[in-house]
């Protein structure tokens, strides 16, 4: 076997035991050979990297195509920033903390994890109607359905979504009442209730209360931890 | 599609299979990652890297005889990547024992995944990019997918193995000239 074939078989991992011995011997004694092996090993690493880059781009494209909520949020943030640009001078002179802006940057109605909505399915129960409206951002309609649901029986989870709707509809005080009521009992929703409560206070420019709740969130839970810390930093 | 069929399709760089496995497991992975203090953008990034590492291993034949479900395997890779990320962020002291769910080969593929290229390799990368498509194809089949000359001949419709062999040599020579002259 010549040297080229030895290296080719080494790369394709098809060296026989005997050839492997020859390969190792050459690698140790023949510097030109060793240099060529290093070169081809490097080439292998480079091509792998290139392949990964191509695939990563494909996956990013899938992500962009298939998951519009992501784009939606980006657009929302972008739109908010643009809308605020015109007003920055006003805030700049009035307050060092721009509560409204921070609120807009951080508030996003909590996603529906209660009632999976399957497109094309025509369930007509109240819960499905409520969350369909919620998911399609028809918040006024959603509010009516959530009220109906809560009349049937009081449910903290439904109340939590109602609070989200109220925030979206600028009924901040009403939302605060619900969230505070929810927090009277301890359960798995507490972190989420607190997060939205902190945002609601922020919106009313009640920085102190907002910070207090965020600090508590930071120490007690990992929910939205990155956002919580980021927000706290900005409020300081 | 069975797991075996998916692995086979990944080997053949089938975009649809890639998309399928990506979207089929995406939400489950995001849900799974919620337990850890990682931003959503980072979770998506890690998920993509896990898919790429899985594809690498499908291509190089490591998982031809996969004992577990493909999804389990993907999640093991992802979980390990999440652990590395959390460790990096230094936010959490992991008390969980890793040994029972990580096998050596997953550990290896994850740990080598983020290896930066050396300076020499970067130089070579620049040179590789300047090659014509024919060269890139031959070299990628040989060095990345592990095809032998005969398989490359069939894949790229060459007439004989010797043509492939000399084509490959020419491409290597071009590369050597590019990097060793500078």
Cα nearest neighbour of A227 on chain B? B39
Interface of A with B (CB under 8 A): 4, 8, 11-14, 39-40, 42-52, 55-56, 58-60, 62-63, 66-67, 222, 225-226
Over range A46-63, report the average pLDDT.
92
Gap from A147 CA to chain B (nearest CA, Å): 29
Q: What span, in angstroms and rounded, lies between the C-alpha atoms of A78 and A73?
A: 8
Q: Are residues B125 and B45 in the same domain?
A: no
Whether ipTM tops 0.85, in short, is yes
Task: State the pLDDT at residue B143.
Answer: 95
Task: State the pLDDT at residue B102.
Answer: 58
| Tens digit of each residue's pLDDT (9 = 90 or more) over A131-149 | 889 988 889 899 999 999 9
Is A2 buried (19+), middle (13-18) or exposed (0-12) by CB count in 10 A? Answer: exposed
CATH code, B131: 1.10.10.10
Q: Which of B92, B111, B130 represents a domain boundary (last residue)? A: B111
More confident residue, A68 or A50: A50
Contact A12 B146 (CB under 8 A): yes
Contact A48 B144 (CB under 8 A): yes
Over range B163-169, report the average pLDDT.
95
Q: Are residues B123 and B83 in the same domain?
A: no
Task: State the pLDDT at residue A70.
Answer: 46
Q: Are residues B103 and B128 in the same domain?
A: no
B39 reaches A (C-beta below 8 A): yes
Q: Are residues B131 and B154 in the same domain?
A: yes
Q: Which of B86, B111, B136 represents a domain boundary (last residue)? A: B111
Band the pLDDT of A159: cuts 50, 70, 90.
very high
Gap from A231 CA to chain B (nearest CA, Å): 14
Q: Are residues B123 and B107 in the same domain?
A: no
B/e letters for A61-99, b = 16+ CB within 10 Å, e = fewer, are: ebbeeeeeeeeeeeeeeeebeeebeeeeeeeeeeeeebb
Band the pLDDT of A69: cuts 50, 70, 90.
very low
Q: What span, in angstroms and rounded, lies between the C-alpha atoms of A185 and A162?
A: 17
Q: Number of helices (H) and strands (E), helices first, in chain B? A: 9, 0
Q: Which domain holds residue B168?
A: 119-181
Number of structural domains (chain B) is 2
Q: Are residues B133 and B104 in the same domain?
A: no
Q: Are residues B27 and B91 in the same domain?
A: yes
Q: Are residues B94 and B139 in the same domain?
A: no
Tokens 């972190």 belong to A191
| Tens digit of each residue's pLDDT (9 = 90 or more) over A182-221 | 888 877 888 889 999 999 999 888 888 898 889 888 888 8
More confident residue, A184 or B131: B131
pLDDT > 50? residue A66: yes
CATH code, B47: 1.10.1740
Q: What span, in angstroms and rounded, lies between the C-alpha atoms of A92 and B53?
A: 48
pLDDT > 50? residue B141: yes
User: Helix (H, G, I), strand (E, B), or coil: what is residue A225?
Assistant: helix
Q: What span, in angstroms and rounded, lies between the C-alpha atoms of A182 and B87?
A: 35
Q: Which of B62, B94, B111 represents a domain boundary (last residue)? A: B111
Q: Is the dihedral of CA A111, A113, A114, A119 positive or negative?
A: positive
Contact B56 A48 (CB under 8 A): yes
Chain A CB contacts of B22 below 8 Å:
59, 62
pTM for the model: 0.56
What is the pLDDT of chain A when averaged over all its residues? 85
């Amino acid at each position: 076997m010549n040297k080229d074939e030895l290296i080719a078989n080494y790369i394709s991992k098809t060296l026989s035991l005997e050839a492997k011995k020859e390969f190792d011997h050459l690698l140790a004694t023949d510097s030109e050979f060793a240099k060529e092996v290093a070169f081809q090993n490097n080439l292998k690493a480079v091509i792998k990297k290139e392949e990964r880059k191509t695939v990563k781009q494909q996956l990013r494209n899938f992500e962009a195509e298939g998951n519009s909520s992501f784009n939606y949020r980006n657009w929302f943030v972008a739109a908010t920033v643009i809308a605020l640009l015109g007003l920055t001078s006003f805030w700049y002179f009035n307050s060092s903390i721009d509560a409204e802006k921070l609120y807009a940057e951080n508030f996003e109605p909590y996603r529906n994890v209660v009632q999976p909505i399957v497109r094309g399915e025509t369930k007509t129960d109240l819960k499905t109607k409520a969350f369909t409206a919620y998911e399609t951002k028809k918040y006024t309609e959603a509010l009516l359905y959530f009220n109906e649901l809560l009349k049937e029986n009081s449910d903290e989870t439904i109340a939590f979504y109602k609070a989200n709707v109220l925030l979206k509809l600028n009924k901040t005080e009403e939302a605060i009442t619900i969230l505070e009521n929810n927090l009277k009992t301890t359960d798995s929703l507490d972190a989420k209730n607190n997060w939205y409560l902190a945002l609601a206070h922020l919106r009313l420019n009640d920085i102190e209360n907002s910070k207090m709740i965020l600090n508590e969130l930071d120490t007690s839970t990992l929910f939205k931890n990155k956002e919580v810390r980021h927000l706290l930093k900005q409020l300081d | 599609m069975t797991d075996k069929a998916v692995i086979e399709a990944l080997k053949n760089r089938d975009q649809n299979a890639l998309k399928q496995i990506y979207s089929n497991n995406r939400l489950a992975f995001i849900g799974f990652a919620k337990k850890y203090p990682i931003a959503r953008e980072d979770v998506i990034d890690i998920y993509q890297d896990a898919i790429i590492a899985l594809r690498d291993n499908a291509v190089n034949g490591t998982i031809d005889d996969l004992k577990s479900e493909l999804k389990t395997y993907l999640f093991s890779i992802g979980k390990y990547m999440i652990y590395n990320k959390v460790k990096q962020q230094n936010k959490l002291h992991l008390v969980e024992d890793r040994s029972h769910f990580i096998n050596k080969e997953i550990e290896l593929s994850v740990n080598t995944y983020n290896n930066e290229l050396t300076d020499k390799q970067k130089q070579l990368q620049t040179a590789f990019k300047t090659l014509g498509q024919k060269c890139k194809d031959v070299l990628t089949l040989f060095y990345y997918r592990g095809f032998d000359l005969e398989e490359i001949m069939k894949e790229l419709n060459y007439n004989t193995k010797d043509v492939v062999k000399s084509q490959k040599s020419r491409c290597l020579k071009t590369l050597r000239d590019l990097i060793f002259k500078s």
